[in-house]
Structure 1
Amino acid sequence: MTAIVILALVALFVGLRLYSVLGERTGHEQPILKPADPDNRVEQPKVAAAREAGAITDNGDLAYLPTAGPGVRQILSADPSFDVARFLEGASAAYRMILEAYWKGELDTIRPHTDSHVYDSFAGAVKQREADGQTLDNRLVAIDPPVIVEAGMEQGAAEVTVRFEADIAAVTRNKDGEVVAGSMSDAVQTRERWTFRRDLKSRDPNWLLIETDEEE
C-alpha cells in the first residue's frame, strides 16, 4: 500500500512538472500565425499598430490601405499567383533602379521597365539636363516600406499604385562640377505614387511603370 502511494505521488509530481513546462495544451489548438482569412488574423503589436494607422497588413508588414483591399482581391481572383509581399519587394527594387538610372542619365536601363509616355518624360528631363550642362549627384538615403494605395483590373490588366516615401540627398552640379543646388548632407523627404501595370493574358511576368505622381 505504501509503495502505491509513493508511485502516485511521483506520478503527480511528474504531471505537475510537465504542466509547468507545456501548459494546458490539448493537441487540438488552432495555429496562431496561419489564419484562413488574411483579413481576419491574430494581431501582433506591429500588425495592430499598422491597422490603427489605417492600413491592412500582409505577412506582418504594411501592405495596402483598406480602400485598396477590394482591388487587391480582384487581382488575386484573376491571378491566384499574385503575391502582395513579392510584388512590393519588386516594386521597391524597380523604384530604386529607375531613380538611380535617371540620375545617371542611363535611359537604356529605364526603357524596358516603363511605358512609352513615362519613358519620354524621363528622357526629356535627361536631355534637358544635358543641354544645360548639368549632372545629378543624388543618393537614396532611406526608403520606408512601400504601401499599395490603389489596385484593380482594367481590360484584363492588373494595375497597382504604390506609395513610396524616401529620403534623398539631392545635388545638382554644373559642367565644372560645382554644386548649383542641393546638399549631400541634407536629405529631402519625398512622397510619390507610382502605378504599375501587367497584362494578365501575357506570359511576360514583368510589370511596367505607367504613371508617376508626387504626393503632397
Structure 2
Amino acid sequence: MDEFFDLPTLIVIAVAVFVLFRLRSVLGTRTGNERPPLERRKPAAEAAADDTVVPLRPRGTAAPELDEDHRSRKIEAEIEQFAKGNDELAAGFRAVVEADPTFTPKSFLEGAKQAYEMIVTAYATGDRQMLKNLLEKDVYDGFHRAISEREAAGQTVDFTFVGLPKVEISDAEYDKKNVLVTVRFHAEVVSATRDKDGALVEGNADQVQTVADEWTFARNPKSRDPNWKVIATSQLD
C-alpha cells in the first residue's frame, strides 16, 4: 500500500483537489434558477445600443420626420441667403426645390463655378468633347463654329483662368419641364490670341482681364441624369 501513497502521488492529489476547489469557487454551481445565456446577454446588448450615437436602424418614425424638418429649415435659410431680399428670386428657388428636391442654391452655385471654369478653358484649348458634355446642342454648335473659324485662321489662344471674384444667381424657375437657373459670372482671366506667325491678335498675355457673362443652366428633374447643361450664354456690359 505504501507504494501508492509516496510523496509525488500525494502532491499530485493535493494539486488536483486545489484546482477543483478553485474552479468551483469561480464558476459556481447551478441551482436551476439561472437565466438562459441569451437572457444574460440581452441587457448588455441593450446598453450598448443606448450608447450608440447613430443607431444602425432608426427607431420608429420620429427620426425621418426630424431629418426632413431639419432639411426644410436648412434649404429655406439658403434661399433667404442667396435671394438677398429678392422675393421673385426666392419664389423661383422654392419652385425649383419643389420640382427637384435635391437642389440647394449653395451646392448648385459651387457646381456652376466649376462648370464655368471648365467650359471657358475648354473653349480656349479647343476641347470639343468637354464642351459637348456641358453644353446644350445649340450652344455647343456656336462654340464649335467659333473654334473651327479660329483653327482655320491658324490662331491659337494662350489662356489662364485666374478666379471668380463675384458670382451670383440672378434667376430661377421651373417651366413645367425643366428647372432653369441663371448665373452671373465675373471672372478674371489672362487670354491672348495669336495668329499663325505668333503675332498678338487679341488680348494680353501679361495682363489680367475681367469678363462678365450670364449663363442659364437647365436640367429635367424627372431625368436620371443629374447633370445640368448650359442652354444660353450672353456677355454682360
Fold shared by both chains (TM-score > 0.5): yes
| Alignment partners' CA distance in 1, 2:128 and 2:77 | 44
The answer on 1:195 being equivalent to 2:195 is no
* Aligned match for 2:102, one of 78, 81, 101: 81
| Alignment partners' CA distance in 1, 2:203 and 2:74 | 48
Q: Describe the SS at the equivalent of 1:111.
A: helix
Question: For structure 2, which runs of at least 5 residues remain unmatched after alignment?
Answer: 1-70
* Structure-1 residue corresponding to 2:172: 151
Contact kept? 1:64, 1:147, Cα under 8 Å: no
* Structure-1 residue corresponding to 2:200: 179
Structure 1 window deviating more from structure 2 (79-88 vs 192-201): it is: 79-88
Contact kept? 2:75, 2:104, Cα under 8 Å: no
TM score, norm. by length of structure 1 = 0.70
Q: CA deviation at 1:185?
A: 2.0
The answer on 1:90 being equivalent to 2:86 is no
- Give the fraction of aligned pairs with identical amino acids, expressed as a percent: 36
Q: Describe the SS at the equivalent of 1:168.
A: strand
TM score, norm. by length of structure 2 = 0.64
Q: CA deviation at 1:190?
A: 1.1
* Structure-1 residue corresponding to 2:89: 68
Higher Cα Rg: structure 1 or 2?
2
Question: For structure 1, which runs of at least 5 residues remain unmatched after alignment?
Answer: 1-33, 42-54, 58-62
| Alignment partners' CA distance in 2, 1:173 and 1:214 | 22
Q: Describe the SS at the equivalent of 1:175.
A: coil
Normalized per residue, the structure richer in strand is 1
State the Cα RMSD in Å. Answer: 2.2
* Structure-1 residue corresponding to 2:133: 112
Aligned pair count? 165
* Structure-1 residue corresponding to 2:225: 204
The answer on 1:125 being equivalent to 2:146 is yes
Contact kept? 1:56, 1:64, Cα under 8 Å: yes
Structure 1 window deviating more from structure 2 (128-137 vs 176-185): it is: 176-185
AA of the residue aligned to 1:179: L
Normalized per residue, the structure richer in helix is 2
Q: Describe the SS at the equivalent of 2:146.
A: helix
Q: Describe the SS at the equivalent of 1:172.
A: strand
| Alignment partners' CA distance in 1, 2:217 and 2:94 | 16
Contact kept? 2:219, 2:229, Cα under 8 Å: yes
| Alignment partners' CA distance in 2, 1:39 and 1:80 | 12
| Alignment partners' CA distance in 2, 1:164 and 1:39 | 24
